[in-house]
Amino acid sequence: MAIREKFEVDLKELQRKLKELGTFTNDSLIRSLKALETKDINLALEVMEEDTKANILEEEINDFAIWLIAQQQPVSIDLRRIIGVIKIATDVERIADFSVNIAKSTIRIGKEGTIGPVESIRKMHQLTLEMLELSLAAFIEEDVEKAKKVAAMDDQVDELYGQTILQYLKNHEGSPESLAETTQLSFVCRYLERAADHCTNIAESAYYLVKGRRYDLNS
C-alpha cells in the first residue's frame, strides 16, 4: 500500500527536472564541440546564450528540493535522494558551463584556426557524453554497477588528457604562430577532463544514494 503517494510523485518530478537538466547539458556539450569542429561562431554564441536555461533549471531544482525537505521532513534514502539531486544539479550545471567555455575557445580561435581538434579530443568528448548519461542513470536507477563504469571511464579520459596535451605541445614545436590556437585547444582538453570529473562526482552521489556511505571513485 503506497502511503506517501504525493511525496512519491514529487520525488519523481524532482528527478524528471534533473533529467531535463542532464539532457540540456548533453545537447550543449554536443553543440559546443560541433562549433569547434566546424568553426561555427554563431553556433558557439548560441551555446553561450542558451546556458541561462541550465542556470534556471538548477535553481528550480534547488528550490523544489528545499521545499520538499521543509514539507516532508525526509529521512534515510529519501533524504539522501533529495540531497543527491541538489549536489548533482550543481555538477551538471558546471558541465554546462564547460560547454560555454569550449564555445568561448571556439570564438577565440576564430575562423582562421589551422590545427583543429585532434582525434583524442573527440574521444574524450564522446567518453564525457557517455559518462554524463551513465552517471545520471546510475543515480536515477540506483545502479551501482553503472557508477563503477563511470569511474573506469574517467581513468580513460585522464589518460587521453595527458596524451592529447603532449600531442598539441609536440605539434606546436616549429610553428610558433599557432601558439594561441594550441593554448585554446589545450584548454578545451582541460574542460573535458574537468567535465568528466564532475560525472564521477555524480556517480559518487549515486553510490551514496544506494549504499548510504561515501565512496571515492576518483582514487
Residues at the interface with another protein (CB under 8 A): 1-4, 7, 73-80, 212-213
The set of residues, in sequence order, having a beta carbon less than 8 Å from that of 199 and lying 6+ positions away, is 91, 95, 128, 131, 132, 134, 135, 150, 154
Question: Shortest Cβ distance from residue 1 to another protein (Å)?
Answer: 4
Distance CA 202, CA 147 (A): 8
Answer left, alpha or beta for residue 142, where phi above 0 means left and psi between -120 and 50 means alpha.
left
Question: Shortest Cβ distance from residue 77 to another protein (Å)?
Answer: 6
Residue number with CB closer to another protein (98 or 208) = 208
Distance CA 37, CA 109 (A): 11
Distance CA 149, CA 67 (A): 33
Question: Shortest Cβ distance from residue 80 to another protein (Å)?
Answer: 8
Residue number with CB closer to another protein (110 or 212) = 212
Residue number with CB closer to another protein (103 or 209) = 209
Residue number with CB closer to another protein (116 or 212) = 212
Question: Shortest Cβ distance from residue 4 to another protein (Å)?
Answer: 5
